[in-house]
Structure 1
Amino acid sequence: MTTYAIVGSGWRAEYFWRLADELDCLGVVSRRPQDLPVPVFTSLDECLRHKPDFVVTAVPWQVTPGLIRELVGRGVPVLAETPPAPHLDGLRALWHDVGESGLVQVAEQYSRMPAHAARIALARSGVIGDITRVDVSSTHQYHAVSSMRTFLGAGRGPVEVRATRTTALLADPLSRAGWAEEVETKPAVTTFATVVFEEGLGVYDFTDNQWHNQLLHRRLLVRGTRGELADQDVLRLTADRTIVHTPIVRRQTGYDLDLDGFDTDHLTFGAEVLYRNPYQGRRWNDEEIAIATLLADTGTWVRDEGPPPYPLADGIEDHRIALAIEEAADRDTVVRTGPEAWH
């Protein structure tokens, strides 16, 4: 049994203690006593006496780098919440201090969400050819960049970024706190950017509160040399004079007279199963499935039974490019990133 502990007790940390499957959560390090379904330690020293196989750092951005350094200094593998450091200087300093240790992974879960995992499997199958462009309009900064790089198969290296911001009125009925008592229509900022990778083009489109505002569609487009995927719809050239339209279909139980309970079963492309839910029966949403899968993959990694789930170099690269998007929008100019030590 692989064991882990969590430093932090906020809303993001809660996912990690609720979703242990074959992994065993030893407890949470919190500055104040709390009534949680797992043990609570008031110091890191107390936690580490229980010898977790790895530690999840779910703390504010500015706290994360110092905590990572301390854990690596003690020889403890780390799964660090995104991003691993808030600013470029911090990313460079963190890599200088711990990059070569091989002990740090980043908790980037988006590629493990059922819909994304199915789309990635389809893109890698070659049915739409070599991937040349990825448009992401659903999440922000490093998560969006990670999706671009994953679908493109982009490595770590210099990129060219152009970006702009616009502001428009938009109703805002829902936030992390829940439904608004009275819906306000207020200014919302949209950041639009293009990122030119060696492997292809990434398009970034994010509007304030897009995670929660259900008035905004979540959009993903993956274009290849022989077709494209738009959300769940796939168009592809299968032969001369033959263009085929096939959807990715999710089998979701629990609707109407289906008494098996509400759950994700699998996602298919024609007769091919692209993704099968490894946690069927637990009734988890996609975020919960993704984080549970990430924890399981981290456990496999620390046991030397599988690849690293998301190396620190990739997490740093994602945020480096995200910072370039913000800089390009702030300065209204082209930003070109240069070679970095983690490349």
Structure 2
Amino acid sequence: MTTSFALVGFGFRAATLHRVSTALDDLDCVGAVVRSPRALPVPSYPSLSALFDRARPDFVVTAVPPAENPALIRACVARGMPVLAETPPAPDLDALRALWADAGDSGLVQVAEQYPLMPSHAARAAAVRAGLIGTPTQVQVSSTQLYHAVALIRGLLGAGHAPAVVRASRTEAPLLHPLDRGGWTGETTPRTAVTTIATLDFGAAGSGLYDFTTGQTRNQLRFRRLLVRGTHGELRDDEITHLTGPRGIARTPLIRRQTGHDLDLNGYDTSAITFGAEVLWSNPDEGRRWNDDEIATAALLSSTAAWVRGDGPPPYPLAEAAQDHLIGLAIEESATRDRPVMTTAEAWSRSG
């Protein structure tokens, strides 16, 4: 069964969503809402109303700046239309609360949080769920910004919507930025970059450490690091130290199988990630030769389509994304005001 969707916006992220969807047999992008007419690979519409009158998609993806998201989400919900909103779903806490008050109970809103679906993160989460390091007690993330990092921290900890005490600070230092979203920059002189470091104390649910430098997501001069500490071991990036018996401790790598090396003539692709003989993650779209973000985007679109059809669970409900953004905003507030910030239970935390 083919599930149709439409895009609102057609910038960098929307173009990625469209490109990935064209390779998925059960998805069909039927159009995009854009401000000004221009050549697109799909029909364009001047407004949501025009889109709904002519295209009738099964769900809508809003790939727009945060300030524009709430109104579009409300418009979709008013028509009973499932919506997958780009991150974050609202620009600030007041807007987030207002959006939840208007649309939270509809059950129609999901958010496009793709980071937990990336192969390495998905494999790490599977290792933690399997109990390989016991009960997770702390997660440290240094790779991506705010709500994305918080999604990884909360998910790996299993912290749910536990209140958090956030303590954050900022420092500045010069850093060269040789790459950005558009590719090689040609820059030869370092410029000021801001590093934000925060501790997140979830009480009995554990703790997190957030460490992010301006541009780190794409700056290959900075490592991406992830660590999960548990009661019986520790996961560091792609290696786990763990108990093997009453008096045995081992360090075992998570191995990514990439085809196309040496005499593997099947072509370059990501196949699976294993821990010893155990497969932690396997590529559902092997043969596409996608990068990790494209793999995660495909998983997000496919799971959204399954949810819309009633064949699967919601991929990332608004309540989860709202909680991620709440803590991300607290990190910014704590760093700006140079004092701890404590999050409290919000309306979306009581939704379950």
Q: TM-score if structure 2 supplies the norm length?
A: 0.95
Query: What residue in structure 2 maps to residue 35 of structure 1?
Result: 39
Distance (Å, rounded) in 1 between the aligned partners of 2:145 and 2:263? 38
Gaps of 5+ in 2: none
Query: What residue in structure 2 maps to residue 45 of structure 1?
Result: 49
- Residue 211 of structure 1 aligns to a residue whose secondary structure is coil
Task: Provide the aligned C-alpha RMSD in A.
Answer: 1.0
Query: What residue in structure 2 maps to residue 267 of structure 1?
Result: 273
- Residue 300 of structure 2 aligns to a residue whose secondary structure is helix
- Residue 92 of structure 1 aligns to a residue whose secondary structure is helix
Q: Do residues 98 (structure 1) and 108 (structure 2) align?
A: no
- Residue identity in the other structure for 2:210: Y
Map 1:66-77 onto structure 2 (within 5 A).
66-77=71-82
Asked whether the 8 Å contact 1:135–1:202 carries over to 2, the reply is yes
Query: What residue in structure 2 maps to residue 190 of structure 1?
Result: 195
Higher mean Cα deviation, 127-136 or 29-38?
29-38
- Residue identity in the other structure for 1:17: H
2:154 aligned to which of 149, 156, 161: 149
Task: Give the 3 Å change call, closer, same or farther, for CA 301–183 of structure 1 in structure 2.
Answer: same
Q: What stretches of structure 1 move > 3 A for 4+ residues in a row?
A: none
Query: What residue in structure 2 maps to residue 8 of structure 1?
Result: 9
Question: How far 1:259 sits from its partner (Å)?
Answer: 1.7
Query: What residue in structure 2 maps to residue 235 of structure 1?
Result: 241
Asked whether the 8 Å contact 1:17–1:27 carries over to 2, the reply is no
Question: How far 1:173 sits from its partner (Å)?
Answer: 1.4
- Residue identity in the other structure for 1:137: S
- Residue identity in the other structure for 2:110: Q
Question: How far 1:3 sits from its partner (Å)?
Answer: 0.9
Q: Deviations over 1:271-294 (max 9, x none)?
A: 011111011111111100101110
Q: Deviations over 1:10-56 (max 9, x none)?
A: 00111111111121111211112222222222221222132211100
Map 1:162-241 onto structure 2 (within 5 A).
162-198=167-203, 199-241=205-247
Q: Deviations over 1:72-96 (max 9, x none)?
A: 0111000000000010100000001
Query: What residue in structure 2 maps to residue 160 of structure 1?
Result: 165
Distance (Å, rounded) in 1 between the aligned partners of 2:292 and 2:31? 24
Gaps of 5+ in 1: none
- Residue 63 of structure 1 aligns to a residue whose secondary structure is helix
Q: Deviations over 1:158-207 (max 9, x none)?
A: 21000111111122211223222232212111000000114101100000
Question: How far 1:304 sits from its partner (Å)?
Answer: 1.3
- Residue identity in the other structure for 2:302: A
Asked whether the 8 Å contact 1:173–1:184 carries over to 2, the reply is no
Q: TM-score if structure 1 supplies the norm length?
A: 0.98
- Residue 329 of structure 1 aligns to a residue whose secondary structure is helix
Question: How far 1:342 sits from its partner (Å)?
Answer: 0.8
Question: How far 1:238 sits from its partner (Å)?
Answer: 2.2
Query: What residue in structure 2 maps to residue 247 of structure 1?
Result: 253
Q: Do residues 132 (structure 1) and 142 (structure 2) align?
A: no
Question: How far 1:208 sits from its partner (Å)?
Answer: 0.5
Query: What residue in structure 2 maps to residue 312 of structure 1?
Result: 318
Higher mean Cα deviation, 120-129 or 163-172?
163-172
- Residue identity in the other structure for 1:39: P
- Residue 184 of structure 1 aligns to a residue whose secondary structure is coil
- Residue 308 of structure 1 aligns to a residue whose secondary structure is coil
Distance (Å, rounded) in 2 between the aligned partners of 1:275 and 1:72? 34
Q: Deviations over 1:200-239 (max 9, x none)?
A: 0110000010011101000000111100110001100122
Distance (Å, rounded) in 1 between the aligned partners of 2:101 and 2:185? 45
- Residue identity in the other structure for 2:329: L
- Residue identity in the other structure for 2:29: C
Q: Deviations over 1:82-139 (max 9, x none)?
A: 0000101000000011110100001001111111111111110001100000000000
Distance (Å, rounded) in 1 between the aligned partners of 2:97 and 2:170? 27
